[in-house]
Amino acid sequence: MISRRSLLAGGAAAAAAAAAPRFTLAAGPAATVKIGFIDSYSGVFSDIAAIHKVGAELALADMNAKSGRAKFEFAYADDASKPAVATTEARRLVGQENVDVLFGLTSSANGLVMTSLCNELGVFMLELGPQDSSITGSKAGKLVYRFSPNNHMALRTLATRVLALGKKWYFIQADYAFGKDAYTELSAILARAGGTEIGHDVVKLGTSDFSSNLTKARNSDADVLMLANSGLDAANACKQFVDFGLGKKLKLAGINLEDFYYKAVSLDSIVGTTFPVAWSPTCCDEARKLTARLKKSVNGPISWRHYFGYVGATSLMQRIAGAGTTDAQKLATAFENYSFDAYKPSKSTFEGYDHQLSQDVFAGSVVSSKTFAKTQFMFEIVGEVAASDSDGGPNSPWARDAKTAMAAETIASRPNYTPKTF
């Protein structure tokens, strides 16, 4: 079993200033905008949230270092990777801390509860890390946008590669929103290809021992062990896959393997294994520039979670500044169809039809330990889907679901709150 403590050592390093995208402030008096930064600072996703925080705090310093009438600050809340806690903490941030907007999250289950809550509280939110597809589909919200690619998008780069490994799959799925959605997406890919589901084990979120599941997979006639889980669960499953010697019988694939687990799994034992990759430090010249700046202050390799925190927070602050207000509905309108340089090969766009950030998405092949020593990144990019094709467009089934869902929603007025203008 992998210890979380050892994985967090490099993730909590302090961040310093780097250049941020320029913006133009609307006319008006100076204002300080308070952002409620809620994430899983404890619980099963705490290692991810710690890295989000490093990147976001760097972005905060960068934006505040620039001259302008809008300044920003964070008020923090720990959702403990639990939806009930996320709801309570979001209410506290809005009702007691009087934040102007909400930002953050890693857990998809926590992301799903925010749609109705933000409508009820009358507050805008940019969700950072949740990937459940329905957040920008049937569960889409008028006041909620998402920065992270969803599972639809992530798997577009992966489908043909994993099908080439074999068409008899054994699934291990985490029992929460992300795992359920990942399984739904992956099993549909398999069915369309005429493949066969050999087994499907649903395991509790936070599982560290997969020995019984791996034994069943080894005794089956599956070609591929398919992981529909994430975070430390996925890393533990990969490590035990190697420990059990299953690489001699099965291929390994999945929806998520965090790039900061380079010490947690034997890279040489799973070299060539393909997973979706949200961003690479070398995916374009702008990414290389951002990486060089981050490396001046981050102790260790740069993760796409550093990227998420930095660019997600920057895009939020940039839009607030551009809108010149913290009014929730006006801010949601300001995000609509907003395109910006997101340190990827092509520009990213917050789509008005489903509130998803369309962006370049990648497939990455795990590199050897020798290659990692040179590149300091766990994956080699072996596939790409451009931003213009990544989200499926306004006529996709999930976009239609999103438009229907948002049309039926009512937004409450936020009590005892006057939006800031600047």
Give the pLDDT confidence of 298-351 residue by residue, as tens digits.
999 999 999 999 999 999 999 999 999 999 999 999 999 999 999 999 999 999
* d(C-alpha 89, C-alpha 413), whole Å: 20
Domain extents in the chain: 11-150+284-359+393-407, 153-281+361-390
pLDDT in tens, 61-92: 999 998 678 999 999 999 999 999 999 999 99
* Fold for the domain defined by 153-281+361-390: Rossmann fold (3.40.50)
**Antiparallel, parallel or unpaired: β 101-104 and 70-78:** unpaired
* d(C-alpha 302, C-alpha 298), whole Å: 7
Same fold? 11-150+284-359+393-407, 153-281+361-390: yes
Which regions in the chain score pLDDT beneath 70? Answer: 1-29, 67
pLDDT of residue 218: 97
The model's pTM: 0.92
* Fold for the domain defined by 11-150+284-359+393-407: Rossmann fold (3.40.50)
pLDDT of residue 40: 98
Instruction: Give the type of residue at 349.
Output: T
pLDDT of residue 2: 55
Rg of the chain on CA atoms, in Å: 21
- Picking from 206, 279, 205, the residue whose alpha carbon sits closest to that of residue 51 is 279
Evaluated on CA atoms 377, 381, 382, 384, the torsion sign reads positive
Instruction: Give the type of residue at 322.
Output: G
pLDDT of residue 4: 45
User: Which residues of 24-83 form beta strands (DSSP E)?
Assistant: 31-39, 70-78
